[in-house]
Each structure stands twice: as C-alpha cells, then as structure tokens.
Structure 1
Amino acid sequence: MAGIYICFGNDYANPNRPFKGTSMIELLNTYTVVDIETTGLDSHFDEIIEIAAIQVSNGQEINRFNSLVKPNQEISTFISELTGITNEMVENSPGIDVVLPQFLSFIGTSVLVAHNANFDVNFIYDFTRLLDLPPLKNDFIDTLRLSRRIFPNWDNHKLQTLVNNLNISDTVEHRALSDCVNTHLCFESMKGYISANNLSLDTLWEHYGTMSKRIHAQTDQFDLDSPVYGRVFAFTGTLEKMPRKDAMQLVVNAGGICGDGVTQKTNFLVLGNNDYCKAIKGGKSSKQKKAEKLQIDGYDITTISENVFYDMIGAENLMGGD
C-alpha cells in the first residue's frame, strides 16, 4: 500500500460512506465482534496494525480471526506504549492489502459488534475504499452506545471500565483480539442485565433532551447517542475548514462542552489537519504531549484530527461534504 504515509487530508477529508451499515439497537445472539489497533485515529493519515474478529452464535464464541499488519509508517513510541505493538512485532507481518480481504471474507454479512463501533467501522470502510475492495456494508451494534444508556451514572464508559464494573476481568490488554473477547463478554453481560432488571430498549432510548445550564447552545434538542454529547473538547492548532469558534459552537450545539486547555476532564483534543500531519512526523504541541501522558495514565482522553472531529459531529453535512 505505497504512499499511505503521504498527508493527503485535503483531498480525502470527510469521505462520504454511502454504503456504510446502520447502527442498530438490538440484543442479538448471533453476530461478529470486531476490533482494530491503529497508528492513530485518522484513516486519512494513519494505518491499521492489528485486526481481529470473533464469530458468535447463540451467545457463544465459535471462531476467531486475528492478524498483525505491517504498516508503511513507523509505529510511534506512544502507540507502542498504548497497545504493546512494536515495529519489531510487525516486521514480518502481511500488509493491509493482504489481511483486509481475509478479514472481510471472515466477517461476511454478519452484524458487527464493537466498542466505539463507528471508529472501527469508519476506519475499515475507508481502507476498503483506498484498496478498491467492496465497501463494508455490515450493520453494527455499539457497546459504548448501549452502556451509556444502561449505566448513565458511570464516570466513563471505556471498555476498561465496563470490564471492571461488570466483573469481566481485572485488567484489559489493549490488543485487538483481547478487546474482541472482552467486548463479547460485556455485550452478553449487558444483555443479561437488561433482562434481569426488566428493562426495555424502548425505555432506554427515550429522548430526554434538555439544555444543560453549563452549555450555551443554540438548541435544546440534543441527540443523546451522539459521541459529542456530554463530552469535553479542547482544540489546538489552526483548523482547515472553519474558525475554531465555529467548531466550538458545533460542539455545544451537539450537547458537548468546550475547554480552553487540556485537563483530566478533557475527553477529546482536536488537532487541525496540518498539525495532525506534523504530529505524525514527530512534532507535537505541549497540549498533545499532555493529552498523551494523561491517556497513558488511564484518563478518558483521546487526540483526534480535524477530519475525525467532523466525522463525529456530522459537520461534513453542514459544510456540503465532498
């Protein structure tokens, strides 16, 4: 996959995904759990370094797929510390052009289950586009979305938190296959919790949108399932598509919160596309270094590019898309 390292964000930003599957709200017994590990969070700049899947029938694992992937760019020290995947580990692994067709064959048309599913689905979809493969059309269920509705009072809904609070395991290894195993167990546990407590999906998904006093939004109708709702954002660098104040307005209009700097309460640090590209090549701002340190220390914070921010907020529709 020559050339993936090139920063081609201007031409590939905010890709339309016309064949992307639907985010479902179902408690299925037959599905396929998927997870990927990557060199970063932006499919326009970053690469997949591990991909895994577990086929589930009647709630039980029946088959699994797992492969390391050799990227064209170096794996950064931060990603190695986060995932445990080093450049030496992937040196003799196949490239994504070999692994992804095998993965797509394994999952077939199954409904997918993943934690923070839009990340995995969008990343895989974009690489099918890049490699001229059939697009990923599978519908999917997001355990992050489900857990936020079932356990709204938890401090966060990271996979590690679910695993701990649902007594799945004491630790989480940040690797694709182990994340699949834990996501499968968490999904089955949440299904059991819903049944044991006589909850219904209709009740869990009732819309209670009211405007928080701390959010100065231009609407009081919030989508509680949005990945932006209730999350704290900080920005650094110059945005390509709009002034920072307009991006901050989009956040609060979606029920999110904007902060001036990076703190332990920050959930997302947004880098302008040019700054994200520079960061891949080794230049990082003090905000980004602080965010990475907090993430390594276990805080619920992630650094994302401007492109990923627009994906999260649906801003490509506001800007007319590509």
Structure 2
Amino acid sequence: MSISIMQGVLNIPGAQDKIRAKGIEKPGFLDNYTLIDVETTGLSPYHNRITEMGALKVRHGEVIATFSELVKFPDSNKVPAFLTKLNGIDEEAIESKGMPVDQAIKEYRQFIGSDMIVGYNVNFDLNFVYDLTEKYHLPVLSNDYVDVLRLARSFYNQETHNRLIDCMQRMGIAESQEHRGLDDCLDTKKVYDNLRENFTQTHMLRAHESVKSLDLTNEWPDIVKQTTVFRSPFKNKNIVLTGDMVLDTTELENAIKNLGGFVQEHVDDYTNYVFMGDGDFFRTDLVELNRAKALKKKGQKISTWSEKFFLSVLDDWARS
C-alpha cells in the first residue's frame, strides 16, 4: 500500500472506498459545461446542510438553462443567523418555498448530467452534492471539473486572497457578492470568461503545475516541503494514531511528517488530533482514545477522527 496523489486525486490501494469517487480536476477553458454553486449552513458536509442549489447549463459559451431551488429537509431547516444576514435565506423561506431534498437533488443531478463541471472553489460544492447523490442512490457524481479558483490563483499569483468577490472587484464586475446559488453562478461565469480573455500559456502552465502529484510516503526534499505544506491541515499539529486502521501505520506516519505534522506515541496536553479506525470510537480498551476523551472533558481542544474522516480531509487537501 502506498499513499499518493495523482493529478489532484488521492490514491490509497485497499482503502479507496473510504473517499469520494469524484472526478479529476482539469484546468482549462470550456465552451460546454455546467457551472454549479450551493449555499449551505456551514463548511462540513458531514454536519451541515445545503440550503440552495444553483447551476447554469452553458453551450458554446452561452447560458441556455438555469437551475435555482431552495432545498427543504424533512427534519430541520434552521439557518444560522449570520448566514441569513449574509444571503437572506432563512427557515421560513425554505419551509414555504423550498423543494423537498429528495426531489431537489434528483433534478439537480439530472441537470448536471454528464457535463464537465465548473465552479469557484468547486470541491466544496462537489462534496455536498456528492454526498446527497449517494444518499439518494443517484448516479455517482464523478464528472471531471474545472476550479475557477485555481485559475484565479494562477492569474493573480502575487495576491494573498483570491476569493470570488476579490476577482469580481479587480475585474470591475461588482463590488459585492450576493451569496445566492444562481447569482454566484452568474458571477463565476463572468470571472471565468474574463480569465479566458486574459490568460496566457504561462498562466495555464502555472495552473496545471499547481495540481498536486506527490508520493506522500517517501521523504520529500526540503524545497518540496516548503512549497507543498503551506496549506496543509496538519502543519505543526501533534497527532496520535490508535486502534485498528486499514492504512499502513508506517506509511501514514511518513505522510503526516511530510505534511508538516508530528506523530506522538502518547496523548498529552499538546495533542491536537487522534486518528483511529472507523469502528473504534466507542471502544473502551484504547488507552490513547480514553486519554483524549478525558482531556476533552477538561476543555482541551483535541479532535478524534475516524480513518474515513481523516482521509476525506486529506482528499480535500489533495484537490486544493
């Protein structure tokens, strides 16, 4: 078994079923595609919900169809107040105007079809949509995609921030962002079209080179570490491994070290994460897990992650 990244896709023989089988990122400018954007109640597809789905169907560079629906769930449709203030979506609007989630995700998946997908920081949207398609037994969302954020970073490579609103302001498109599904789709297309007009071969080469291809288990040269670990979620984090994990422990330790983390033998006051097997959380015989739980009760900020959740975070980093 070897943990590697090829063209932005995490590869883990023997554990590939633990991560989403999404498509491959292919930086470029398309004439035919579906552009997507979803609004959510938070950042985690495991704990948060989609509140709105937006999409554009583009053919020969022109919008030929749109999709825009609030999404209603059967249990709860509460929206954090700060998000309602940001985009105007609240529980009342969802309850009165929202499409039931099972119908909404079915129609959204049909709208996307087999198109390549375009979006801004689109891996975020893909995670939410992928999980809903899986939940409702719809065709796997394995479409290849273009991330406009990567193109923007390549074009504005001297800038610290390259959010959608940053690009819109630089390009004179708008001074504010609506944070609504369809509106953000239309704004993303404007940014995408503007980049298309101004991109050079140098920009494109830079974009392609930034898509990760790495062996995570072998020691990296210092120059690779300096350029690669910058956005690593494990940089300067102390991590303890315990329980029955599918991954080879030695390879996993090497991967964590390459990503700027530190592997500890025992949980202590400086531990940030404990990684364990997917079925281990409720075990009472894991000393390190028990220590972590005790420290959490005392107020220490220590996270206990299943192997599947850890690999999901690693996959997101691989695609970033």
TM-score by length of 2: 0.64
2:136 is equivalent to residue 134 of structure 1: no
Aligned counterpart, 1:31: 33
2:167 is equivalent to residue 168 of structure 1: no
2:39 is equivalent to residue 54 of structure 1: no
Flag the 1:241–1:34 CA change in 2: closer, same or farther, 3 A.
Answer: farther
Residue 312 (structure 1) shift:
4.0
Flag the 1:130–1:26 CA change in 2: closer, same or farther, 3 A.
Answer: same
Answer yes or no: is the 8 Å Cα contact 1:51–1:68 preserved in 2.
Answer: yes
1:126-165 C-alpha deviation (Å, 9 max, x unpaired): 1111122221121110011111112111121111111111
- For 1:154-233, list aligned pairs within 5 A: 154-194=159-199, 197=200, 199=202, 201-206=204-209, 219-221=222-224, 229-230=230-231
AA at the equivalent of 1:59: G
Secondary structure of the residue that 2:149 maps to in structure 1? helix
1:146 is aligned, of 128, 135, 151, to: 151
Aligned-partner Cα distance in 1 for 2:274–2:92? 31
What is the alpha-carbon root mean square deviation over aligned residues? 4.2
AA at the equivalent of 1:52: G
2:49 is equivalent to residue 82 of structure 1: no
Aligned-partner Cα distance in 1 for 2:309–2:165? 23
Aligned counterpart, 2:20: 17
Secondary structure of the residue that 2:54 maps to in structure 1? strand
AA at the equivalent of 1:112: I
Residue 239 (structure 1) shift:
8.6
AA at the equivalent of 2:208: W
Flag the 1:241–1:33 CA change in 2: closer, same or farther, 3 A.
Answer: farther
Residue 176 (structure 1) shift:
0.8
- For 1:238-257, list aligned pairs within 5 A: 253-254=258-259
Residue 254 (structure 1) shift:
4.0
Q: Which runs of 5+ in 2 are unaligned?
A: 1-16, 213-219, 243-251, 262-271, 276-280, 282-298
AA at the equivalent of 1:160: I
Aligned-partner Cα distance in 1 for 2:257–2:309? 17
1:208-246 C-alpha deviation (Å, 9 max, x unpaired): 99xxxxxxx98542596x7x744788999x99978xxxx
Flag the 1:144–1:316 CA change in 2: closer, same or farther, 3 A.
Answer: closer
Flag the 1:114–1:315 CA change in 2: closer, same or farther, 3 A.
Answer: closer
Aligned-partner Cα distance in 2 for 1:199–1:97? 44
Aligned-partner Cα distance in 2 for 1:76–1:46? 11
1:113-133 C-alpha deviation (Å, 9 max, x unpaired): 011111111211111111222
The count of residues paired between Structure 1 and Structure 2 equals: 250
Answer yes or no: is the 8 Å Cα contact 1:35–1:51 preserved in 2.
Answer: yes
Instruction: Give the structure with higher Rg (CA).
Output: 2
Residue 203 (structure 1) shift:
4.9
Residue 192 (structure 1) shift:
0.8
Answer yes or no: is the 8 Å Cα contact 1:79–1:85 preserved in 2.
Answer: yes
Query: Which range is displaced more, 306-315 or 101-110?
Result: 306-315
AA at the equivalent of 1:86: D
Flag the 1:80–1:198 CA change in 2: closer, same or farther, 3 A.
Answer: same
AA at the equivalent of 1:75: V
Answer yes or no: is the 8 Å Cα contact 2:40–2:50 preserved in 1.
Answer: yes
2:315 is equivalent to residue 311 of structure 1: no
Answer yes or no: is the 8 Å Cα contact 2:123–2:316 preserved in 1.
Answer: no
